[in-house]
Structure 1
Amino acid sequence: MAVTYLLLARLPEGGLGSFNAYERAVLPLLAEYGGRLERRLRTLDDRVEVHLITFPGSEDLAAYRADARRLEAAPSLESSGAEVEVLAVREV
């Protein structure tokens, strides 16, 4: 059964460049795991980014998160200083 996730990334001042570099590296990998980026939104001050991402199942998200290329890009995420939260969500 498909699962939709909400990713919330809070970015500190000056973290956007590294965060964008990380996103350029990892978002193209989603499709390899059946993932689909439904929405990608950012606040007007560029300090919070939200994604709605759907995967066929939770195991597909786990496989995506374990992808070696994603792990290789992790230093960009770390240097951005982003605080990231991932929540499984549903329509109400």
Structure 2
Amino acid sequence: MPEPGDPAGEVLLVAVVEMVPGQAAAGHRYEDQVLALLGRHGGSIERRMRGTDSPTEVHVIRFGSRAGLESFLADPDRLALREQAGDAAPTTRVIEVRDR
């Protein structure tokens, strides 16, 4: 099994996505579009959940390699979607995790 941080190993992430107040619908649309790009980088969404009392989303995302994550972050389509979303773009906290 690869060590944590091994560029050849899988990367497991948890993302806490905070929608902009009053812009939840636009934020969810943005997330739909961005998450659709994961596959081209060897990534997949394992879980996508919404808060019960807020428009916050929590995602569990897996990449086959760190290179896949890095290519996703640099994807010009993802960057263009972020720019198009403007002030409606959510704020995301990403935590790299591992199974116990």
Do these two structures clear the TM 0.5 threshold for a shared fold by scoring above it? yes
Q: How many residues were matched structurally?
A: 92
- The higher relative CO (CA closer than 8 Å, separation ≥ 6) is in 1
The one-letter code matched in structure 1 to 2:99 is E
One-letter code aligned to 2:50: R
User: After TM superposition, which residue ranges in structure 1, 4 or more long, deviate above 4 angstroms?
Assistant: none
Bigger helix fraction: 1
Counting aligned pairs with the same residue, the percent is: 30
- Which residue pairs with 2:32 in the alignment? 24
- Could you tell me which residue of structure 2 aligns to residue 46 of structure 1? 54
Change (3 A) 1:16 1:79: same
Unaligned runs of 5+ in 2: 1-8
Supply the distance in 1 between the matched residues of 2:15 and 2:85 (Cα, whole angstroms).
14
Q: Which has the larger radius of gyration?
A: 2
TM-score, scaled to structure 2 = 0.81
2:53 maps to 1:83: no
